[in-house]
Amino acid sequence: MFPLYMRFISTGTVCTYARYSCLCLPCPCKQVDYIQRRGYKKKWAKNEGSKPHTVHALNHMEAFYKPVFKERWPSIRISLLTTSKYCALLNNYNSENEKVEKYLTDLGTYNAMEKAKLARAKYLEKENQQIVTEQSSLPIESLIDFPKRPSHSEVDENDDVNDDDEDVKEDIQPVVGKNTSLYDFIPTKRVYTDKELLQQHIARVATFDDSLLEVPVKVIQEQVPELPEDLKFFVYPKGDISKFPNPKMKHGNLLGYYMMDAASLLPVIALDLQENDSVLDLCAAPGGKTLAMLQTLKTENLTCIDESWSRLSRLKDISKWYIGETPSSMSVSKRDGKLLEDPFYNKVLVDVPCNTDRHVLISEDNNLFKPGRMEERLELPKEQMELLVAGIKSCKPGGTVVYSTCTLSPAQNDGVIHAAMDHLWKETDIDTVVIDISYLRPIFKDIFTFFPKTKYGQLVLPTLSSNFGPMYICKIKRIR
């Protein structure tokens, strides 16, 4: 029985009968109407308006992706909200990989690399190209006309501006006229709230306007490289949404195949690894692309770095399950990739942290669109640019860098490429060119769907029939 002073006749009305009547008289209130006030308080004002982080992510994409992809967006949107498709990367370190290959074929899958090699041969025949293994005798510097970069002395001379310069006077007093007093009131045209300023900042960070480009970025053609002979991955045909069984150790002493998004293999293919290459995986963890590079059997010197111990532990686990002991040619260390500057490598993979479009649409855990991570999300393009610049600085002249993300964001794709080129042009003596890798589209057109309107790289779009991606890939060559 509740205390007499804690009774309610109905919600919000306190029973005062027993307080002013003899205690021996029964209360006329029904027991079912007694509600205890203590401990019951609905915090509707605080919780009613909150939205899941996934909804914030979807609203962001509706605002900034839809204008870019236009009529393609409805298909992309529903594909992102649907379970993604995986491939099975064959483990060449397994002692019985032939049995694993037969097992995968019996599931109804096919080796996508074999199909891509046939498509490559047809593409070369159609374009009347020849496979050339030897490089041109002329250095690439002589084939590219780079604009003259202003020297530091010229910049210093320009900084010493004469006080009598008319342009400087106009810059100092752009609004105030000769007859204007400091006490004259000039009304403000528009006052922006903090929310409006934040929205403007988000719009600047999330978009890429190529009409404002000032720094020249050269895009050159290259010979279509050979596809990795030992890299094999199996996929179900288009429209088949069957799933691969979880790999087991029944075939050999290691796991027979690794399940991953097939589009994640394109950066490794674009890297065009060769024997004796010195390779840097700048953001190696959790290790899917690192494992793919190892499957090419051409990584005699592979350096893997990441700034997260937890992610590096995941990479080491993958190495243990698929390779066994870490190969002597592979080193793993915790470092901040943005601090690298010494050119020790001739192949660099920069798979940067990004919006991770699929994850933020389906998972609330550690979602990048939670209010507490807004500042981190807005700083992503800057961090990506710094990682790419560090990757280019770590690359030897004549070497190549592949930049990749798993987002559709133009600002984090083509926008970061141009921001890095702008930084290198203004702050360093490094010259770079973007290599056209549009040949990936006809070679892998039966497996992936590509977006044809990117400026520098290639972008895989998720579709219901082939739900891989998103994945952006751009290849850069350091000249000097």
Long-range Cβ pairs for the range 271-274 (8 Å, 24+): 271/347, 271/349, 271/400, 271/402, 271/475, 272/225, 272/226, 272/347, 272/400, 273/228, 273/298, 273/299, 273/347, 274/298
Amino acid type, 244: F
C-alpha torsion sign, points 67, 69, 70, 72: negative
Cα torsion 94, 95, 101, 107 to 10°: value is -80
Amino acid at 226: E
* Terminal C-alpha separation, the chain: 86
| The token pair that represents 42 in the structure block | 């609905």
Q: How many CB atoms lie within 10 A of CB 378?
A: 15
Q: What is the DSSP letter of 30?
A: -
Question: How many other C-beta atoms can be found within 10 angstroms of the C-beta atom of residue 330?
Answer: 20
Pair of tokens at residue 12: 């919000």
**Within its chain, how far is the Cα of 153 from the centroid?**
39
What CA–CA distance (Å, rounded) separates 343 from 101? 39
Q: Residues marked as binding for S-adenosyl-L-methionine?
A: 283-289, 306, 351
87 assigned to active site? no
Round to whole Å and give the CA distance between 63 and 332: 40
Annotated binding-site ranges: 283-289, 306, 351
The residue from 15, 354, 406, 474 that is catalytic is 406
3-state secondary structure 74-93: HHHHHHHCCCCCCEEEECCC
**Residue 307 near residue 349 (C-beta atoms within 8 A):** no
Report the catalytic residues. Answer: 406
